A = this chain, B = another copy of it.
Amino acid sequence: MAIFKRKISIQSEVATGFGVNSEDSSGRFYDRKSGSANVIKRGIGVLNRYSWYHTMLAMPRTKFLWLLLIAYIIVNLIFAGIYYMIGIDHLAGVNQGSDIKNFSEVFFFSAQTFTTVGYGRISPVGFAASAVSTFEAFLGLLSFAIATGLFCGRFSRPRAFLSFSHNALIAPYKEGIALMFRMAPYKNNLLSEAEVKVNLAMQLEENGKMVNRFFNLDLEISKINALALSWTIVHPINEKSPLYNFNYTDMVNAKIEALVFVKAFDEVFSNTVVQRFSYIAPEVVWGAKFRMMYHADEKKKATVLDLNKLNDYEKIELLSPVITAQ
């Protein structure tokens, strides 16, 4: 593995915000699905460590709705308990019966207060029950104000909605080879002025110690006006590339990870959106090229983009003198 000792021009090195000591990192730098960094924070209280708003925004939709429903039930159980302790006589109109029936009547009264339905069949009499219900109605409206704020936040949270090909390919390119992968927008948002940056993380031996190094990969095209169809990102592997003369085994040994960062302007939201993705050595296919994933539909006078074909590639022999290993 003498190759890892060779001096790589410092000019293409970049500061990624990740540590240099390879002992201090393990596994991927980026989680592939969420695009977030594989970092665990410790040392301060859990309440300080989480921005509950960020948590609420990043939560999947179904989980978020269940959370609201469960919170609604718990709050009503608590208030039902309070009304029950104050005494069922302070609520006019309750159909008294067994303890369970009484408690359920009180629970439903609480819900009618919290949601401000207030049918009025059951209504508070006396100071204690009235005061509690006055506070509960306030809390109810406040809660729904907060819920509305959360919905606003979740709705207006800009996301890029980009799909990436599962594999990156080492494909023929001009006289040599290139690292290629592609992406496509899969929703009805409209992205323009898209820009992509690819950093390569690898472990190199320096002074007998393994260290992480990060390099910027030159791209054939790194900016496009509109991201309407698929976009194939091409990094030519030439003398200036940190991947020059690497074969598959070298990639695995150097634990390479291509860190992809896409930034675009969403024209519906009028906001900048970003997305991250990464490829590690076992996800790189040697000697393959992508198949076209769009074609003209003459009848509809439009271009059809088939998202199922995002990772469609065909094997192809590389003519370059690079040793293919897979």
Contacts and interface: CB of A to CB of B under 8 A. Distances in A.
Interface of A: 14-19, 21, 23-28, 35-44, 48-51, 53-55, 57-58, 65, 68-69, 72, 76, 92, 95, 101, 104-105, 107-108, 111-113, 115-121, 123-125, 127, 130-131, 133-134, 137-138, 140-142, 144-158, 161, 186-190, 192, 194, 197, 199, 221, 223-229, 231, 259, 261, 265, 267-274, 276, 292, 294-298, 300-309
Contacts of A306: 42-43
A296 B23 CA distance: 6
Task: Give the one of A15, A23, A125 with max B CB within 10 A.
Answer: A15
Contacts of A276: 267
Contacts of A57: 268-269
A123 B105 CA distance: 12
B188 A49 contact: yes
B137 A229 contact: no
B307 A41 contact: yes
A187 B16 contact: no
Name the residue among A133, A273, A298 with the largest chain B CB count within 10 angstroms. Answer: A133
Residue among A112, A131, A306 facing the most chain B CB atoms (10 A cut-off)? A112
A62 to B, nearest CB: 13
B194 A17 contact: yes
Contacts of A115: 116, 134, 137-138, 140-141
A140 to B, nearest CB: 7
Contact of A303 (B38, B120, B121, B259): B38
In the complex, the count of this chain's copies comes to 4
Given A39-B229, A41-B305, A43-B306, 18 more contacts: A15-B221, A17-B231, A18-B303, A39-B294, A40-B297, A40-B300, A41-B188, A49-B187, A53-B155, A54-B187, A76-B134, A115-B134, A117-B118, A118-B118, A152-B153, A153-B156, A156-B156, A270-B271
A138 B70 CA distance: 11
B92 A295 contact: no
A228 B123 contact: no
A42 B21 CA distance: 45
Contacts of A194: 17
A297 B313 CA distance: 36
A43 to B, nearest CB: 3
A37 B307 contact: no
A121 B265 CA distance: 53
B116 A304 contact: no
Nearest to A145: B148
B296 A24 contact: yes
A138 B15 contact: no
A226 to B, nearest CB: 4
A297 B105 CA distance: 53
Given A138-B72, A152-B149, A157 B225 contact: no
Contacts of A138: 69, 72, 111, 115
A115 B137 CA distance: 6
A73 to B, nearest CB: 9
Contacts of A147: 141-142, 145
